[in-house]
Structure 1
Amino acid sequence: MDNLTHGLLGLAVGALRRPDVRPDSPERSSSTDRAVLLASVLAAELPDLDTLLARGDAVTVALHAHRGLSHSLFFAPVVALAATLVAWAVFRRDTRLLPVFLTSLASVLFAHLLPDLWTGWGTRVLLPFSDARLSLDWTVVVDPWVTLPLVAGAVVAWRRRAVWRRALLLGLACSMAYVGARVVSWSVLTRRVDGAHPGAESVRVFPAPFSFSTWRYAARLPGDVLAAGDVTLLGEPREARRVTAPVDVLPGDLREVPTVREALAWARFPVVTVTQVETGREVRVADLRYHLHGEPTLTFVVRVDAAGTVTEARLERGGSASELLRRWRGGDTAPKSRSP
């Protein structure tokens, strides 16, 4: 999820703890109460500091450096402890560390790691024991209908201090109700797509940006064939494209290139091409999870020279915002060529 949503979820998690001083009391809140809220927000945001420390090419940074160890269950207590210590440094006097730490730990788990799992991009919560990228595919990374109830709750809490806790919790309840509806929709539509492709080896439904009723899907059919299309809550799956996508299209030496390996591990329904270019070979790894009318919108492009060294790595998003909007409306189905 985006950082605004993480932070607001952290604030709401902090509000779940019953304050030492009643929210509507004329007395000032205790230092522990204030430390809990600060630490909860910090704990929800700290894992994404890995983006500031990331090194390497664009593909490695996007897929490996970000959502790494700081996003794992194993490292969550460390993140919670760091947030606790910062909050204690701010509100030292009479601050009890245990409730601050426990709430911070809950914030790491439920305001950061779990929301990242909701998204189609996924996250590696099992590091360092497993490098698998896990995803529940319930929401897109930036989903305004998750965020807006939290924003509204925070605004009311700021303007009406007497009901700040109820406002935050009501915003959290509305946001979670929306996520619950997404889970139900995902389950129903997955069964519908699976029924439309009875011989499929695997079927997956993915959220479409800024839409509740329309979802994308991809299916792996026998013979290395991938099918991609759309499905709505009130309609049957509409297949947009089939493509033959053998999983062993890459030569062994290219598979051993770390940047290429990261892109392949990311793609669950990969469409891979290899072409000769002036400087060596160009590998394009697209994923039909991200498509408009069957055409991929996200492609990792890696150029490798004769010595096996990566000379260029980039992420193509299928064209400019206006091109993507035109394709979404049903215009051009293929992205315009773009210079590297």
Structure 2
Amino acid sequence: MFVKNMDSLTQIVLGAAVGEAVLGKKIGNKAMLYGAIAGTIPDLDVLASNFTDTVTALEMHRGFTHSILFSIIFAPIFGWLVSKYQSYKDFKGWTLLFFWGFLTHPLLDAFTTWGTQLFWPLDYRVAFKSIFVIDPLYTLPFIVFLLLTMCKKRSSKKRSFYNKMGLILSTSYLMLTLILKWVTYTKFENALKEQHIAYSEIDTRPSPMNTVLWNANVNTKDSFLLGTYSLFDSQPITFESRPKNHELIEAIKENDKMQRMIHISKGWYSISVRENELFFNDLRFGLMSLDSEAEDFVFQYKIQINNNGLLQFSETKKGRDDAQKLMKELWTRIKGN
């Protein structure tokens, strides 16, 4: 819940800054308000989880509402609706505000691990995997400059300066995360080479709330290797082996829902057993612990067959204590090995 709230806050701040950039000089703080609304609307796709099954909801998340097509179609609609009851009647101006508010939302999401279907209806997610869904170094400076902007009159040059600085710094940080991803990817790649490990693919991403500690999943023939690297590390990178256990779902592997879950995970999944129950683990988002024996993956789904003989997936719940424990472990690991 905390992660989702912080993610929403980040999108609200970005949307508000974009709204200010488009119409701030003409309508003042109202531009921020409507920009914040525009920056929130794409995430209403999460409501799908209340009306459909887990697999379908996952497929829909960051789908149509996060596409360029959505921005093109719905920006004029919202622009027309708002221009009808606001004193500022410029349809074009309102349309541009909603267009950029809608579009910058998925553009930011594209830097995260889950990615976004920018080119929907094409079944392809743009995912640079260079920033966690929330990152204080991105959001907090942005908030400061947005507050400074709000305190100035709409005709003030400083108002425009503060808003531009917030957008420039946040965008620059996103570009920096791509550089850090390249640097850390190279570190993992070199470590695998030095340890003579044969692999077919590497998947890297930053750990929660920072871009200092990075995680890697490595695909080998019989298992996945998990590794971590901090920019402050002084010791060589080590990798922990995790069995794929794909044979445990051999009997249901061709089931439509199972195939869809495998597709959603991009093949980065393992199967685990606990108390005679099977669990589908999406490895792309890591574990809720740095313990080498941990099995509590961030995105873990219990595999069940219902009374009608249909395959179902239900996400395992994570508690606040789990998150607090993880953050303490991350803070210790960030400082180096």
Instruction: Name the TM tier (shorter chain).
Output: 0.7 to 0.9
Q: Residue 55 of structure 2 contacts residue 313 of structure 2 at CA under 8 Å; is this kept in 1?
A: no
1:274 to partner: Cα distance:
5.9
Per the alignment, residue 113 of structure 1 pairs with: 106
1:312 to partner: Cα distance:
6.0
Alignment RMSD (CA, Å): 3.1
1:231 aligns with 2:229: yes
TM-score, normalised to structure 1, is 0.79
Per the alignment, residue 218 of structure 1 pairs with: 217
Distance 1:325 1:10, change over 3 A: closer
Question: In structure 2, what is the Cα distance between the partners aligned to 1:242 and 1:102?
Answer: 50
1:36 to partner: Cα distance:
5.4
Partner-residue secondary structure (3-state), 1:107: helix
1:322 to partner: Cα distance:
4.2
**AA in 2 matched with 1:6:** Q
Per the alignment, residue 175 of structure 2 pairs with: 180
Distance 1:188 1:118, change over 3 A: same
Distance 1:164 1:252, change over 3 A: farther
Aligned pairs for 1:22-171 (under 5 A) are 30=26, 37-54=32-49, 55-58=51-54, 60-61=56-57, 63-93=58-88, 95-110=89-104, 112-130=105-123, 132-161=124-153, 162=156, 163-171=158-166
**AA in 1 matched with 2:107:** L
Q: Percent identity?
A: 20
Partner-residue secondary structure (3-state), 1:167: helix
Length, aligned pairs only: 312
Runs of 4 or more above 6 Å deviation: none
Question: In structure 1, what is the Cα distance between the partners aligned to 2:78 and 2:29?
Answer: 13
Question: In structure 1, what is the Cα distance between the partners aligned to 2:261 and 2:31?
Answer: 39
> Unaligned stretches of 5+ in structure 1?
24-28, 332-340
**Deviation string for 1:94-133 (max 9, x for gaps)?**
x2222332343223222x1111111112222232231x33
TM-score, normalised to structure 2, is 0.79
Q: Residue 144 of structure 1 contacts residue 210 of structure 1 at CA under 8 Å; is this kept in 2?
A: yes
Partner-residue secondary structure (3-state), 2:229: strand
**Deviation string for 1:239-276 (max 9, x for gaps)?**
24112316565225354252x44432332421123678
Distance 1:52 1:140, change over 3 A: same
Per the alignment, residue 18 of structure 2 pairs with: 13
Q: Residue 271 of structure 2 contacts residue 278 of structure 2 at CA under 8 Å; is this kept in 1?
A: no
Per the alignment, residue 315 of structure 1 pairs with: 316
Q: Which has the higher helix share?
A: 2
